[in-house]
Structure 1
Amino acid sequence: MKAEIEKIPSCRIAYMRQIGPYGIANSQLMEKFKCWVKSNNLFNNTSIILGIAQDNPAFVRPENCRYDACLVLPDDYYVNADEVSLSNISGGRHAVFKINHTAEAVQRTWTKIFLELESQRFSLDETRPFLERYTVELINNHYCEICVPIQ
């Protein structure tokens, strides 16, 4: 498992949030969000969907953990925010791990990711969230990316 270093730009997002224990509810939210994206004609070959676990369950009670399903918006795109919220994500350097898009592979990656960061001598930037990144190309090839903010 080797990370590629990428400078991810700051961006504007539309998102839906789920509050509660991480797990199946996150997947259900992502499916609901993807339906919203498609119904608003926002899904195309350049779309970037993100999953963001906002809280570390080691420090935040499970019932208070926040998970956001997000779409990176074009700079000039207007979104009616009745069904979604709008925000910005700070850009910066990330260690990007490309993995199989299965629950097992994602779980396995989370158990190894910190050791891998340490072995490659990366310092975690705890001021920015981890990103699960999905593009059409990745999804069509059964992959996703875990993007870890580093200093």
Structure 2
Amino acid sequence: MASIGMVYLRPVQVVYFRMTGPYATSSEKAWGEMFDWLDQHGLRQQTGRGYGLQRDNPRQVGHDACRYDACVEVPDGIDVSAREKVLTQKLPGGAYVRQRHVGSYDEVGHVIVGLRDGWMPSNNLVVDARRPLVTIYLSNPDITDKLQLKADVCLPVTAMERTARMAV
């Protein structure tokens, strides 16, 4: 198992595309829109990390209502007219539990489940539902072997309430 630790993510200004539906399909569609937009404006080589934001818990809202944001940091000197099709937002900062994933990006969901249902409860932490789950994509899938892709899977955390801890 990759090492797990606590990090503080700083707020970051990003441009993004949002899609709704099951995360497996909405993430693919959102990244497709983002890559098309970046290519249209000649910005793809200027961006570094990608951020995938999972905004909803499918257990609470249902898979079809889940919102996924494909984000990249706003490149310096971006032309305002180039922003017409995308939205902007500030990625929420704060305390997150982070696990580095190496392998296919298709496996990120398994990492999330392992952290949320295993590691976090055993460390008296729960997901902070006010902030999205963040996957920081560190590798370019166009030039990196599928098994060597790297991503930091980050779940927003808050301490388990005292009464809940006492019941455990």
Q: TM-score, normalised by structure 1?
A: 0.81
> Which amino acid counterpart does residue 96 of structure 2 have in structure 1?
H
Higher relative contact order (CA 8 A, sep 6+): 1
User: Could you give the per-residue CA deviations for residues 96-119 of structure 1, whole angstroms, max 9, x where no partner exists?
Assistant: 111134255323213311211122
Q: TM-score, normalised by structure 2?
A: 0.74
User: Could you give the per-residue CA deviations for residues 45-64 of structure 1, whole angstroms, max 9, x where no partner exists?
Assistant: 76221111111111113332
Per residue, is there more helix in 1 or in 2?
A: 2
Secondary structure of 1:150 counterpart: strand
1:118 to 114, 121, 125: 121
1:129 to 104, 107, 132: 132
Segments of structure 1 that go 5 or more residues without pairing to the other structure are none
Identity %: 23
Larger radius of gyration: 2
Please identify, of 74-83 and 27-36, the stretch whose mean Cα deviation from structure 2 is larger: 74-83
Segments of structure 2 that go 5 or more residues without pairing to the other structure are 159-168
What's 1:26 paired with? 27
The change in CA–CA distance for 1:19 and 1:106 in structure 2 (over 3 A counts) is same
Secondary structure of 1:37 counterpart: helix
| Deviation for aligned residue 1:126 | 2.1
User: Could you give the per-residue CA deviations for residues 40-93 of structure 1, whole angstroms, max 9, x where no partner exists?
Assistant: 343347622111111111111333221111112257755432111111122112
Q: How many residues align?
A: 151
